[in-house]
Amino acid sequence: MTANCAEGREPLILRDQLILASASPRRLMLLRQIGLEPDHVLPAHVDETARPKELPAPFALRMAREKAEAIARDHPDTFVLAADTVVAVGRRILGKPEDAAQAAGFLRLLSGRRHRVLGGICVIAPGGRSAERLVTTAVSFKRLSAAEIAAYLKTDEWRDKAGGYGIQGHAAAFVPKINGSYANVVGLPLVETQNLLRGLGYWSEN
């Protein structure tokens, strides 16, 4: 399989097969953005409950690792890529809201302040070698009015989104500034993902 490359450069050769261990359409879209098409998309079913006193960064990495391991156990001869996105306000983890009321609470908490988006990535190669990375992006929200929150909830974009918002949609109007990877906020930091795959021998320029 060959990925597209910049004009005048040799094509990038993809070796073996790649499984994306995620049900997120955003992660698949981001991989395609850099010319990567997973051979299979297999969501990993793991318990995504934080442990008592578990901090956001270790939680994001643990989730990515457990998702990758869950798929790799049944596919030991394949590259497995898994990721997890955590929105954190201080030590507090904002997961995917269960309903509109909880999403509204998250948005009120994020309003007018800066928070962190932590992206955990794990790649497991054939034979069991693995590598992981944590990427942090600081996101600043403007102060939101009650009317803005109510209007956003009506879009349903908050569903299945960590922190109750998606920066790639209507919530882009809430974010005057980010410091770090935009792709990480969407769901998958691309530079770091590409580097992990290269380092384990999946993506080379031979």
Residue from 47, 74, 84, 156 carrying the catalytic annotation: 84
**DSSP per residue over 112-127, as a string?**
TSEEEEEEEEEEE-TT
Give catalytic status of residue 156 as yes or no: no
**What's the CA gap between 157 and 186, in Å, rounded?**
12
**DSSP per residue over 63-113, as a string?**
HHHHHHHHHHTT-TTSEEEEEEEEEEETTEEE---SSHHHHHHHHHHHTTS
**Could you tell me which of 66, 15, 5 has the C-alpha nearest to residue 201?**
15
Question: What's the angle, vertex CA 30, arms to CA 37 and CA 39, rounded to 5?
Answer: 20
Active-site positions read 84
